[in-house]
Amino acid sequence: MTLKKFNLPDVGEGLTEAEIVSWKVKPGDTVAINDVICEIETAKSLVELPSPYAGTVAELLVAEGITVEVGTAIIGISDNAPGVLKPTPAPASPTAVQAPSAAPAAEQAFEASMYGKLPADAGTSDGGPAGGPLVGSGPKADAVKRRPRKRPEGATAVAAAAPGTAPAAVEPTVEPVVEPSAPALPPVAAQQPASQGTASQAAGLTGLGATVSGLVNRVLAKPPVRKIARELGIDLADVVPTGARGEVTREDLVSYQSQRDAEVDQADTFWGASKKPQDQRVERIPVKGVRKATAKAMVESAFTAPHVSIFVDVDASRTMEFVKRLKASRDFEGIKVSPLLILSKAVIWAAARNPSVNATWVENADGNGNAEIHVKHYMNLGIAAATPRGLMVPNIKDAQDLSLKELALALNELASTARAGKTQPAQMQGGSLTITNVGALGIDTGTPIINPGEVAIVAFGTIKQKPWVLDGEVIPRWITTLGGSFDHRVVDGDLSARFMADVASILEEPALLLD
């Protein structure tokens, strides 16, 4: 009998340890090469580990929930294992076994434009998402006051229609920060000055905010699903759609309702019994994996890079009109479009006009104690996302080369990958500038911490209807607030202000992207 032991590999670049989250096999199981044997959580993401050998699982050497160093033997696979062995503790002194990292691609001469082209043979990511949050927001909180929920026959039928979904619904879902909250989706009428609206339009707007949001925020869903959502008091814009065409299904409603009920139930039992001593009513949560790495990176960033933050209010009414037109366009049929798409394009456009925001500060770059600023002639656009394992920042590789439609698809893929917990370490490496959508929770703006290795981050606040002075008249417009944090070693006050002004100018007039 030949017994082969598989050592925990370095699935990223320079990772030193990982936690065995769950085993997908047990002693006695037969596995083939590349069959998934376990899930591990590294400092960057959750990764499925394939088997390097074919044979029979002889022993599991590390129990679930245990963190071990790279190089530790975690499983034994035999081509002829007669017995079933019990898991044993991991070795105390593992030997690190790491695959050599790929040599960096040779630098090339850049043309006059900000963003250069990669050589034809250079390996690039597919632009797919990696989800990891650095500074972002998690699952959306419900309003404090809810409409009374009725339990009609339709609602009961929904629950019965998908009995298998109940257990999964209790698990926390991820709402990546890739689109503004429901109030952020504006109406057509509100995007025009009052003087341009017709009398008939004005008469139809009995409730300007609610009615207008309904016109623009048309979530795909069949009539029976809409009926059930109304009866349950669920805003379809808050539900993550899983339908083939991006529509909300009955199963989505069941999952959302189950999660919402679970959150309410947990809130009712959150406070511990007062009869117990207070030291017995403290929940201790180990800091490990993604959260541990994020905490370390944030402390280093906050106390290494001198942060400076600036803010700007923006009239995004024309961006909202543009988003509405894209949604109605045949070219974007079936593609989820949000104002974040326009902001992403705006950031790429503004970075080309202010290159130093798309850079990295490198200490002791020459080995003699001298620092360098490395300006990147490409945009790996990071989008902060929240997952149950913590905040992550996946990035879209070479985002500057993507068309508006391609960028929309990349953002959607980033969101779905993060939501499914499938973000890979490579998808979070090499970012150049980050966007965090704090507006997903209805927050106006914030002062985000710069993602390590970058010098700028932009916070996208919620879009709300507010009174705005236009041509001497006070009219309702859709306003958002942008917040930016910058590494003052690289980006001074003048440059940061010009960059934020350029981003704001695109949100105020998206047609500038056509120049």
C-alpha 449, offset from chain centre: 16
DSSP 8-state class, residue 174: -
The residue type at 293: A
Active site residue 488: yes
Q: Which residue has the tokens 């008091």?
A: 233
The H or E element that residue 486 is part of is strand 473-487
Burial level of 343, CB count in 10 A (0-12/13-18/19+)?
buried
Residue ranges of alpha helices (H) inside 81-222 are 153-161, 166-170, 199-204, 208-216
Q: How far apart are CA 161 and CA 224, in angstroms?
A: 13
Q: Which of 74, 67, 105 is nearest to 88 (CA)?
A: 74
The residue type at 263: E
Helix%, strand%, coil% for the chain, nearest 5: 35, 20, 45
Do the Cβ atoms of 21 and 39 come closer than 8 Å? yes
Burial level of 220, CB count in 10 A (0-12/13-18/19+)?
middle
DSSP string, 33-84: TT-EEEEEE-SS-EEEEEPSS-EEEEEE-S-TT-EEETT-EEEEEESS--S-
Do the Cβ atoms of 394 and 382 come closer than 8 Å? yes
DSSP 8-state class, residue 511: G
Which residues share a beta bridge with 239?
Answer: none
Collapsing DSSP to helix, strand or coil, 362 comes out as strand
**Catalytic option among 307, 374, 377, 488:** 488
Structure tokens at 466: 């507010």
Q: Rg of the chain over CA atoms, in angstroms?
A: 25
Do the Cβ atoms of 60 and 23 come closer than 8 Å? yes
Catalytic residue set: 488
